[in-house]
Amino acid sequence: MSETAMELINVKKTLGNKAIIKGVSFEIHKGEVFGFIGPNGAGKTTTIRMMVGLMGLSGGDVRIQGASIKTDYKEAIREVGAIVENPEMYPFLTGKQNLKHYARMMPNVPHSRIEEVIKLVGLEQAINEKAGKYSLGMRQRLGIAQALLQKPSVLILDEPTNGLDPAGIKEIRQYIRKLAQEENVAVIISSHLLSEIEQMCDRIGLIKNGEVIAIQDVNAAADETETAEVQMEVTPLSTACEVLRNDYNLDADASNATLTIRTEREMIPDIVETFVRHEIKIYQISMTTSTLEDKFFDLIGENTIE
Amino acid sequence: MSNFFQLLINEQIKLYIRKSTWIMYILIAVLVLGLAFLSDYTVEQAAKYQDDNWQETLEQENADLQQQMEEDDMMQGFNNTQIEKNNFYLENDVQPRSYDAWQFVMGNEFLLSLVSLFTIIVAAGIIANEFKWGTIKLLLIRPITRTKILAAKYVSVLLFALFTLLFVLIFSWLSGALFFGVNGMDPYIVLNESDGFAHVSIIGEIIEGYGLQLVTLVMMATFAFMISAIFRQSSLAIGVAIFLMLSGNAIVSFFSEYSWAKYILFANTNMNQYINGSPMFEGMSLGFSLTVLAVYYVVFLSLAWLFFTKRDVAGH
């Protein structure tokens, strides 16, 4: 992979005696979209708040383009554009006044850049209306616009798809991919809904109880379907089970007239042939591909990624 | 320093674009105009001395007052002062002034407590509102230290106080000029000073009167600013600051038995006690009060700074 844009080194947060974040480490490369997934309360937002210096670190360090958020705050934060939780704007200022407000706080943001980001997020029509009248989707876009003002090398978006309709999500998805590819920005997206961001991420980190329990390459996960779950509706079940155990050393799970086994895709025709030879009747065979979501369900050990 | 100026612009825009700020100015304007309407009596009083026979008018008035006192003992105090004042005019051959814009401005000195009130409201909200709106998160993730952001907010509060004070002065003067006219640009007036009646410059009186109230204004605004930074809640900051401002004197007299009462903030905010030469407690001097005020001021700002820069910005 290419250059590292942001690096978390054993980041810890303790509140009182309680360890909220227990040593989180990962790095994000330029041009990559990194998904940060976890159930509510797992520590996503706390980690993000530490990444942008809103909360102090109890241990470890965050480095952005090599600059430590602890010791070189200004250098580090200059490279970061972010939305933390909801994209809250000054409701009494217009969209443009909001952007100008933030532009004044950063070096080298010419007026032309403001116009540029407005166009980028497609807010030209409503930019002179008061932000208080914006829908959540419009505020989300304005939030992204303000995060992009200073051309950051790291873009942090906390729950960017929250409150957006499917069309809006699709738009943001395309837009974020474009940013990563064309502008070589490292994008970090947090969400509790894996399915919404899975398609725009290159890698996904899973956080639970303040720990990163898995980091997974999205494309690799798609290839890893060699071991699939196969359901077979056969009779008689007992013979079928026996055949599988003896010939293939496979443990079958039998319920309702259906066998469930885990095996490689290539094995299926062979098994069918064997079944036919033993005069087992086959009514139906189906295969469930293991998605990233299933994988994470297993890791989290819950039924839902909330 | 240039980005500090940009921060100031931001804070001023956020302040003056909101309707609540405009309402404050409208209230002041309405009050000043109302006061001008109600000043008819004072204008009439002053008008009767404006002809060439003003000395006779004053003597006649003294005689009337004397007679009134003989009939009614209750009027003694007030009438004696009035007679003394009239005699000062006669002895020094000074014609009483007609009521004009300058005197109107001087009389509106009490409006500064309204300016203090508004400044407290602004100071209480300037940090707390960012938390209420949730914008604090976007405000703080900029390549600017929190100390600088805090300083810009504090200076903005002081600027608001300054602008509002100037508004009171200028609007009062203009309304006064409109209603009563302007009687010279360096007017003098006879006032009852600590050592008897004296002929003093009105402009000097205005500067002194408004200036002395600025002490309380700045201290209470800084206090509200501190509460706002610590608790991140404007209603609490407004409530506590206004309560203390209104009950300051009561607090001092409540604890006046104790030797440490002179260290209470409110025992030191009234600088008039040194002009009149009657300090509230023994052992107090101008230097003492200024030191006490400075200590409070530094403590307020240090606490505000400590909480604003060191504390985490966590979720709601």
Hey, which of A40-44, A197-201, B146-150 has the most confident mean pLDDT? B146-150
pLDDT band at A302 (very low <50, low <70, confident <90, very high): low
- Please give the pLDDT value at position B289: 92
Taking CB atoms and an 8 Å limit, are B6 and A93 in contact across chains? no
- Please give the pLDDT value at position B187: 79
Quick check: B141 contacting A, CB < 8 Å? yes
Q: Is the preceding peptide bond at A91 cis, omega within 30 degrees of 0?
A: no
A141 shares a domain with A232: no
Task: Among A56-60, A150-154, A179-183, name the one with the lowest average pLDDT.
Answer: A179-183
A130 shares a domain with A10: yes
Whole-number Å distance between alpha carbons of A39 and A193: 9
- Please give the pLDDT value at position A247: 84
Residue A86 maps to a domain: yes
Q: What is the CATH number of the domain that holds A277?
A: 3.30.70.100
- Please give the pLDDT value at position B1: 53
**B6 closest CA partner among A130, A224, A104:** A104
pLDDT surpasses 60 at A97: yes
Task: Among A36-50, A160-174, A212-226, B175-189, name the one with the lowest average pLDDT.
Answer: A212-226
| More confident of the two residues A114 and B195 | A114
A30 shares a domain with A111: yes
Residue A180 maps to a domain: yes
Residue A145 maps to a domain: yes
Taking CB atoms and an 8 Å limit, are B135 and A89 in contact across chains? yes
Residue A300 maps to a domain: no
Whole-number Å distance between alpha carbons of B299 and A231: 73
Element containing residue B192 per DSSP (H, E): strand B188-193
A37 shares a domain with A181: yes
Which chain B residues are closer than 8 Å to A53 by Cβ?
140-141
A178 shares a domain with A278: no
pLDDT band at A192 (very low <50, low <70, confident <90, very high): confident
Cα A25 to the center of its chain, rounded Å = 16
Residue where a domain terminates, one of A219, A246, A267: A219
Whole-number Å distance between alpha carbons of B247 and A171: 59
Q: What is the CATH number of the domain that holds A148?
A: 3.40.50.300
A178 shares a domain with A55: yes
- Please give the pLDDT value at position B126: 94
pLDDT surpasses 60 at A1: no
Distance from CA of A171 to the nearest CA of B (A): 23
Q: Two tokens at A292?
A: 């990233």
Average pLDDT over residues A210-230: 72
Q: How many CB pairs under 8 A join A and B?
A: 83
Place of tokens 């979501």: A293
DSSP label at residue A209? T
At B263, is the secondary structure helix, strand, or coil? helix
3-class DSSP string for A159-183 = CCCCCCCHHHHHHHHHHHHHHHHHC
- Please give the pLDDT value at position A291: 65
Distance from CA of A58 to the nearest CA of B (A): 11
For A251-280, the pLDDT digits (tens) are: 887 777 788 888 877 788 888 898 898 888
A215 shares a domain with A237: no
pLDDT band at A305 (very low <50, low <70, confident <90, very high): very low
The total of structural domains in chain A comes to 2
Domain span holding position A71: 4-219
pLDDT surpasses 50 at A303: no
Cα B162 to the center of its chain, rounded Å = 11
Average pLDDT over residues A96-103: 95
A185 shares a domain with A60: yes
Residue A130 maps to a domain: yes
Among chain B residues, CA nearest to A86: B134
| More confident of the two residues B30 and A306 | B30
Whole-number Å distance between alpha carbons of A44 and A34: 13
Residue A303 maps to a domain: no
A251 shares a domain with A120: no
Taking CB atoms and an 8 Å limit, are A106 and B13 in contact across chains? no
What's the Cα-to-Cα distance from B311 to each of A57, B149, B232, rounded to whole Å? 12, 14, 11
A242 shares a domain with A113: no
| More confident of the two residues A68 and B182 | A68
Average pLDDT over residues A71-80: 91
ipTM value? 0.83
Which chain A residues are closer than 8 Å to B14 by Cβ?
90, 92-93, 101
A202 shares a domain with A103: yes
Among chain A residues, CA nearest to B308: A54
Task: Among A21-30, A182-191, B84-93, B294-303, name the one with the lowest average pLDDT.
Answer: B84-93
pLDDT surpasses 50 at A216: yes
Of chain A, the percentage scoring pLDDT greater than 90 comes to 36
**A26 closest CA partner among A158, A207, A166:** A207
- Please give the pLDDT value at position B194: 66
Residue A295 maps to a domain: no
A188 shares a domain with A123: yes
Sequence letter at residue B42: T
- Please give the pLDDT value at position A304: 46
**In chain A, what's the furthest Cα-to-Cα distance?**
79
Residue A161 maps to a domain: yes
Which of 14-53 (B) contact A at CB < 8 A?
14, 17-19
pLDDT band at A225 (very low <50, low <70, confident <90, very high): low
In the predicted model, residues of chain B with pLDDT beneath 70 are 1, 41, 75, 194-195, 315-316
- Please give the pLDDT value at position B184: 76
